[in-house]
């Protein structure tokens, strides 16, 4: 990406567009009763489940997740009791057992729970829902805390994919973000997982961290490649200390600027592509035979709250504090504080505290943004017609889009908007040109590049 474009657009704070509208647009105008009604009307379609485990043993200072630090197990056990009750409530609300194709455990650190607790949780899901025999079950893992017993429990429970937080192997960077994790610890986790039949492994890397350099980023990639993961997710660090107060512990003077961040991202991408990984969307990489790479090749790639995915389910049901669900009618989010979440569930109610009801125009804009984020190209005319709109709804008076065309970020021809691949790191900037609500909120997002 040219230095002029980095200077002009790189510092802009924009959503990651894992949903549209984005979470800051959610309000208490949508709540538990709406969730109940929407679950009752899911019908015969297959659904995805997301379970949020909001606990960690220590705080990583870069973290942007909803999580609680605890050294004791009792708060986790109490939370799991509530989570099981929520699963019961949702299964009872459905008119018939829901068919489940995808299950994702996120956090926090999902594997912080005891091995038998995880096995029990998966058994409950199998009892209350119809889990597809070939269901994809994925778990986010902190390699520093995964035990042999937990690896065995994951294998017994049918986990098919593990996402390992790596971030950086540079000890200087690790100290600056309060996450000390050796290559040896990470490799031990990888081997434990593979020994228990979990062969699909993702690594999460981050650029833009304090004291990070192009050289340290490339070194981290090299060490990671030796462990042969199937996929990489490569995220730019989002420094939002006004929203995540623990990020104030990070030395802002050690953070790289927009140009340095772009150089780090491009260096990581070049190293991964050189090693044979396919570049997918904004920030994912996968081996050519991986289903994510095949989905991108065939134009069926999707984007949801977990990032890029092959998940084709229209409905995503979220369990746990802060979890977000997606239905045909709109979005819902559970209470964020675990205590308030537990109180709502203990009262026999679903804990949805806020959400958003989609309009027809929202669905059009959501599809346009998703295709841009996944494919870097979208046929505005065809997409508008599919949703029953004229393309003028999206194009007329769209000065942001016109400026991007003038700057050479995009090419517009006969109603088709195409992001120039040389400027792919600005795809969120292009997507924002179709966001009707971008300026409605004071929420701070991550940098565009």
Q: What is residue 243's predicted lDDT score, i.e. its pLDDT?
A: 81
pLDDT beyond 60 at 122: yes
Note the pLDDT of residue 182: 97
pLDDT band for position 449 (50/70/90)?
low
pLDDT value at position 306? 86
Statement: residue 15 has pLDDT above 50: yes
* Helix axes of 74-93 and 338-346: crossing angle, nearest 10 degrees: 50
- Whole-prediction pTM value? 0.93
Write down the pLDDT at residue 442: 45
Segment holding 266, helix H or strand E: helix 258-274
pLDDT in tens, 17-43: 999 999 999 999 999 999 999 999 998
Query: Residue 440: pLDDT band by 50, 70, 90 thresholds?
Result: low
Structure tokens at 353: 């505290």
Share of the chain above pLDDT 70, in %: 97
Which structural domains are found in the chain, ordered by start?
Answer: 18-319 (3.80.30.20), 359-436 (1.10.10.920)
Look at residue 421 and tell me whether its pLDDT is greater than 80. Answer: yes
Summarize pLDDT for 316-338 with one digit per residue, the tens.
999 999 999 999 999 999 999 99
pLDDT at 352: 97
> What is d(CA 160, CA 150) in angstroms, rounded to the nearest whole number?
14
β-pair type (161-167, 200-207): parallel
Three-state secondary structure call for residue 339: helix
pLDDT at 448: 54
How does pLDDT run across 376-396, given as a tens digit for each residue? 999 999 999 999 999 999 999
Average pLDDT of every residue of the chain: 94
Q: Inform me whether the pLDDT recorded for 370 exceeds 90.
A: yes
Contact (CB, 8 A) for 340 and 352 = no
CB burial of residue 216 (10 Å; 0-12, 13-18, 19+): buried
For 87-146, the DSSP string reads HHHHHHHSSSPPEEEEEEEEES-GGGS-HHHHHHHHHHHHHHSEEEEEEEEEEEE-TTT-
User: pLDDT of 136-153, one tens digit each?
Assistant: 999 999 999 999 999 999
Q: What is the pLDDT of residues 212-270, one digit of tens each?
A: 999 999 999 999 999 999 999 999 998 989 888 999 999 999 999 988 999 999 999 99
């Amino acid at each position: 990406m040219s230095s002029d474009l980095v200077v002009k657009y790189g510092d802009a704070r924009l959503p990651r567009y894992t949903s549209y509208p984005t979470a800051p647009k959610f309000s208490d105008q949508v709540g538990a009763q709406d969730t109940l009604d929407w679950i009752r009307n899911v019908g015969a379609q297959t659904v995805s489940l997301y379970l949020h485990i909001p606990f960690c043993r220590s705080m990583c200072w870069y973290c942007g997740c909803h999580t609680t630090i605890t050294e004791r197990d009792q708060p986790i056990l109490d939370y799991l009791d509530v989570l099981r009750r929520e699963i019961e409530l949702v299964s009872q609300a459905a008119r018939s057992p829901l068919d489940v194709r995808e299950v994702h455990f996120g956090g926090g650190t999902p594997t912080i729970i005891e091995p038998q607790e995880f096995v029990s949780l998966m058994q409950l899901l199998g009892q209350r829902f119809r889990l597809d025999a070939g269901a994809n079950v994925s778990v986010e893992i902190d390699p520093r805390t995964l035990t042999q017993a937990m690896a065995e429990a994951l294998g017994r429970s049918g986990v098919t994919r593990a996402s390992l937080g790596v971030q950086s192997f540079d000890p200087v960077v690790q100290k600056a973000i309060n996450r000390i994790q050796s290559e040896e610890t990470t490799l031990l986790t990888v081997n434990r997982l593979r020994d228990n039949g979990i062969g699909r492994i993702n690594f999460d890397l981050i650029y833009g961290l304090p004291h990070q350099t192009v050289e340290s980023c490339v070194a981290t990639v090299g060490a990671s490649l030796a462990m042969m993961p199937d996929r990489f997710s490569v995220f730019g660090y989002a420094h939002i200390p006004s929203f995540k107060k623990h990020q104030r512990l990070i030395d802002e003077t050690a953070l790289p600027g927009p140009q340095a961040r772009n150089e780090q991202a491009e260096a990581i991408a070049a190293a991964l592509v050189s090693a044979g990984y396919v570049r997918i969307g904004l920030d994912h990489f996968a081996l050519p035979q991986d289903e994510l790479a095949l989905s991108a090749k065939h134009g069926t790639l999707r984007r949801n709250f977990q990032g890029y995915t092959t998940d084709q389910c229209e409905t995503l049901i979220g369990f746990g504090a802060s979890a977000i669900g997606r239905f045909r009618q709109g979005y819902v989010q559970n209470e964020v504080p675990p205590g308030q979440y537990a109180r709502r569930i203990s009262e026999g109610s679903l804990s949805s505290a806020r959400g958003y009801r989609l309009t027809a125009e929202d669905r059009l804009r959501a599809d346009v943004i998703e295709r841009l984020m996944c494919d870097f190209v979208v046929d505005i005319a065809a997409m508008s017609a599919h949703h029953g709109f004229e393309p003028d709804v999206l194009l007329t008076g769209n000065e942001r889009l016109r400026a991007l065309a003038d700057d050479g970020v995009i090419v517009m021809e006969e109603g088709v908007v195409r992001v120039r691949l040389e400027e792919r790191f600005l795809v969120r900037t292009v997507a924002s040109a179709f966001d009707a609500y971008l300026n409605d909120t004071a929420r701070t997002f991550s940098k565009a590049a």
